[in-house]
Amino acid sequence: MKRFKAVIFDMDGLLLDTERQALVSFNRVCEHLGLGNQEYLFARCIGATREAGWKALEDGLKDKVNIQTFASAWDVLHSQSADEQPIPLKEGVFELLDYLDSHDIPCAIATSTSTKRATLKLSNAGLIDRFAAITCGDHVARSKPFPDIYLRAATVMQADPRECLALEDSENGVRAAVGAGMTVIQIPDLLQPSPELRSLGHIVLDSLHAVRSHRF
């Protein structure tokens, strides 16, 4: 692996297998409210802050349902699901973190999730102590796909963004990291990258395991 000044990780869908839980609860609420298939809206929420996700729901569901009713039902159902079963880690998380530690490459988090929720999730997953810094959606004015979160993470890590590797799963996250000028690896979770996204020229791999052996 190329010597990077820092490796900056997204959280949900990359380290934590949260998006499947979220999609199941999203679909259950849509079914209960008679909205039909709205997974395109779910895709717009992936990688976005709570506020940006709310705006996407407002735009997509206006005149169909009360947005507060929908959002509250989804939040309750998703929280119940997370409480009932621990959030599983994505394959290869600890192996990659151990590899980076062995090469003295510091790691950080750049997530659109709020500080409170991100800290809780990382603590419950046993990952909170593996990162030198955690940058969250409430630390910046603009959410992904704007580059603010990644630029702030690089600043906190005292690293030039051009010397950072960003690891992402979502389209919003990829666009944010590319916009920050970082080398970007996407490991798709629920959605494969579109031809338009691939045109950005970032790297697409199958798993976190593949990051260690990739030739830059």
Cβ atoms of residues 25 and 78 within 8 Å: yes
75 carries an active-site annotation: no
Distance, CA of 70 to CA of 58 (rounded, Å): 10
Helix ranges, 103-193 (H): 115-124, 148-156, 171-179
Looking at residue 12, the DSSP 8-state letter turns out to be: B
DSSP string computed for 26-65: HHHHHHHTT----HHHHHHHTT--HHHHHHHHHHHHTTTS
- Strand-pair category, 133-135 with 164-168: unpaired
Looking at residue 16, the DSSP 8-state letter turns out to be: B
Which member of 10, 12, 148, 189 is catalytic?
10
Query: What residues are annotated to the active site?
Result: 10
